[in-house]
Amino acid sequence: MKAAVAGASGYAGGELLRLLSAHPAFEIGALTAGSSAGGALGAHQPHLPALAGRVLAETTAETLRGHDVVFLALPHGRSAAIAAQLGEDTLVVDCGADFRLDDPAEWVRFYGGEHAGTWPYGLPELPGQRDLLRGARRVAVPGCYPTSATLALFPAFAAGLAEPDVVVVAASGTSGAGRSLKTHLLGSEVMGSVGAYNVGGAHRHTPEMEQNLSKVAGTPVKVSFTPMLAPMSRGILATCTAPAAPGLTAAALREAYAAAVKDEPFLRLLPEGVWPATAMTVGANTAALQVTLDERAGRVVAVVAIDNLTKGTAGGAIQSANLALGLAEELGLPLNGVAP
């Protein structure tokens, strides 16, 4: 099958290409870019020598048409126009935010502008979601933070073990902000420093977390979300906590998590006492997960580590594409990471 990548010069695009290159079912077709169009991929992704000579085309429907799947790794707000011009014969997998939210009012509140619509949400681990992705022609890839927070807490909410008043505090590597020229993303500013940003409900991933967890819980879930920028290129570590349901025991909690991940190819509940670190997942499509009951504070505390570019973006996108195209869900997606 032929796969195109729009936005091939960015970090998400690079990760898509790294994974697609090693994927047995995909041949890499068109690569497109914005201001970098016309140049060779090698100038932007020097870690991908196997594709160094490929020339970047402009991001147009003409270029992207005729592929079995098109991965869009574009700035938010750009996907709808392109997708509208691609027929149903092409699977379109959008790594941007345009089609993630159900509620147009939430879209307007957090992103502004018109809501483009809602596509099947590409998180197969969300209960019931896998079936919606099989055969889908459009997929909205989740945000990296919502991926982490949802994977951390869906087992608790699915089993009714937590109250719907969630606190998420998550540290992300800098690649989550893309290859954008902003002072606060300079190496000199980032190295040796952890900082918070978009605190107090300001981050756009907040309604997406609430949407996911509310569906699982069957009741509205509030999320207080604080993101942090950490001095590393890749990875998200999310600490997610909610009040324990009355009478919850540690054993029941662990059992629920064990059951929830049992058949999931990419979720790993770590051995008791081992807590996730992002180094466990670099370059892999896995989520490393641990949970405990803090009896003193009366809270469920779940921690998850993912690679924001792999499971959090490009790997998650391919996982959903595999499902949509009738391939094995795990195909071409690494379980083993790169460490140290």
Residues labelled catalytic: 144
CB 319 within 8 A of CB 329: yes
- Minimum Å gap between C-beta 149 and a second copy is 13
In the sheet with 27-33, reading across from the earlier edge strand, the strands are 57-58, 27-33, 2-6, 69-72, 91-94, 138-140
- Minimum Å gap between C-beta 56 and a second copy is 15
CB 281 within 8 A of CB 304: no
CB 133 within 8 A of CB 120: yes
Retrieve residue 107's tokens: 């879209």
C-alpha angle 2/28/65, rounded to 5°? 50
Identify residue 193 by its one-letter amino acid code: S
Identify residue 144 by its one-letter amino acid code: C
Pick between residue 326 and residue 336 the one whose CB is nearest to a second copy.
336
Pick between residue 86 and residue 238 the one whose CB is nearest to a second copy.
238
Identify residue 130 by its one-letter amino acid code: R
Pick between residue 96 and residue 334 the one whose CB is nearest to a second copy.
334
CB atoms within 10 A of CB 34: 15
Q: What is the DSSP secondary structure assignment for residue 123, as one 8-state letter?
A: -
- Minimum Å gap between C-beta 317 and a second copy is 17
Phi, psi of 224, rounded to the nearest 5 degrees: -95, 115
- Minimum Å gap between C-beta 72 and a second copy is 20
Pick between residue 43 and residue 84 the one whose CB is nearest to a second copy.
43
Give me the residue label for tokens 């792999």.
Answer: 310
CB 92 within 8 A of CB 137: yes
Pick between residue 98 and residue 210 the one whose CB is nearest to a second copy.
210
- Minimum Å gap between C-beta 312 and a second copy is 14
CB 119 within 8 A of CB 216: no
Question: What is the rounded CA–CA span in Å between residue 22 and residue 314?
Answer: 13
- Minimum Å gap between C-beta 131 and a second copy is 26
Contacts by 260-266, CB closer than 8 A, 24 or more apart: 260/154, 260/155, 260/158, 260/159, 261/155, 261/289, 264/125, 265/329, 265/330, 265/335, 266/125, 266/311, 266/319, 266/330, 266/333, 266/335
Pick between residue 34 and residue 42 the one whose CB is nearest to a second copy.
42
